[in-house]
Amino acid sequence: MKNYRTAMGKVVDMAALAARNEHTRAVGNMRVNARGDTIDANGRVIRSVTEKVNEAYGKTVGNKSAQVKRQVTTKPKVELELTQAEKELEESFDDDIEVEKIKAQETKKK
């Protein structure tokens, strides 16, 4: 952006001013911050300006390969089967925790 000189002779750097206040709610009825992100009543970003620009660009460009799309891959859920030794080990951990709780109660009583 450009540097402007005020009537009093001071120089105002508009880029620095915009960068310093980009998360501040903008004045008006559009529900955006100074950066252009759509925000809710509490100032949390609902939709970023990057998403808006990508959507607008995708609508104007006719070439499908030029359109911006994110590919979301879901990870398959893997359930592990425990062996008999692992099951016994987990049960012993549970028993150890119960013993430690009882010991802690006994030491509090004394």
pLDDT digits (tens, 9 = 90+) for 48-92: 999 999 888 877 776 666 556 666 677 676 667 778 887 787 788
Predicted pLDDT of residue 100: 87
* Reported pTM: 0.45
Cα 39 to Cα 24: distance, rounded to the nearest angstrom: 10
Share of the chain above pLDDT 70, in %: 85
Report the first-to-last Cα separation within the chain, whole angstroms: 74
Residue 67 CB coordination number (10 Å): 14
Q: Where residue 18 falls among pLDDT bands split at 50, 70, 90?
A: confident
**pLDDT tier at 45 (50, 70, 90 boundaries)?**
very high
